[in-house]
Amino acid sequence: MSLRLDWCSYDAAKYSVERWHYSKCMPIGKVVKIGVWEDAKFIGCIMYSTGASAQLHKAFGVSRFEIAELVRVALNSHKAPVSKILSISIKLLKKTAPNLKLLVSFADPEHKHYGGIYQASNWVYVGESTPGVYFKLPDGTITHNRNLMGPEGFGGSSTKEIQQRYTDWRNKALKEGKITKITTLPKHKYLYPLTDDMRSRIEPLRKPYPKRASVVHNVEQPAYQQGEGGSIPTLTHT
CATH class of 1-131+185-238: alpha beta
pLDDT recorded at residue 110: 80
39: left (phi over 0), alpha (psi -120 to 50) or beta: left
For the chain, give every residue range classified as CATH 3.40.630.30: 1-131+185-238
The predicted pLDDT at position 62 comes to 81
At 73-107, the pLDDT tens digits run 999 999 999 999 999 999 999 999 999 999 999 99
Collapsing DSSP states into helix, strand and coil, what is residue 103? strand
Rounded to the nearest 5 degrees, what angle is found at the Cα of 67, between the Cα atoms of 108 and 60?
90
pTM: 0.75
Spell 86-98 as b/e; 16+ CB within 10 A means b. Answer: bebbbebbbeeee
What is the structure's pLDDT at 53? Answer: 62
Mean per-residue pLDDT for 170-178?
Answer: 89
State pLDDT tens for residues 144-162.
776 676 655 555 556 777 7
pLDDT band at 221 (very low <50, low <70, confident <90, very high): very low
pLDDT exceeds cutoff 50 at 229: no
Q: What is the pLDDT of residue 130?
A: 81
Q: What is the pLDDT of residues 14-26, one digit of tens each?
A: 999 999 998 888 9
Residue 55's pLDDT band (cuts 50, 70, 90): low
Residue 237 has pLDDT above 50, yes or no: no
Burial 173-190 (b: 16+ CB within 10 A, else e): beeeeebeeeeeeebbbb
pLDDT of amino acid 152: 57
The Cα 194–Cα 89 span in angstroms is 13
- Please compute the mean of the pLDDT values over residues 173-197 and round it to a whole number: 91
pLDDT at 233: 40
| Cα torsion angle, 188, 123, 23, 228, sign | negative
Closest residue by Cα to residue 102 from 29, 32, 196: 196
**Which residues have C-beta within 8 Å of that of residue 41, sequence separation ≥ 6?**
230, 231
pLDDT at 52: 60
pLDDT band for position 228 (cuts 50, 70, 90): very low
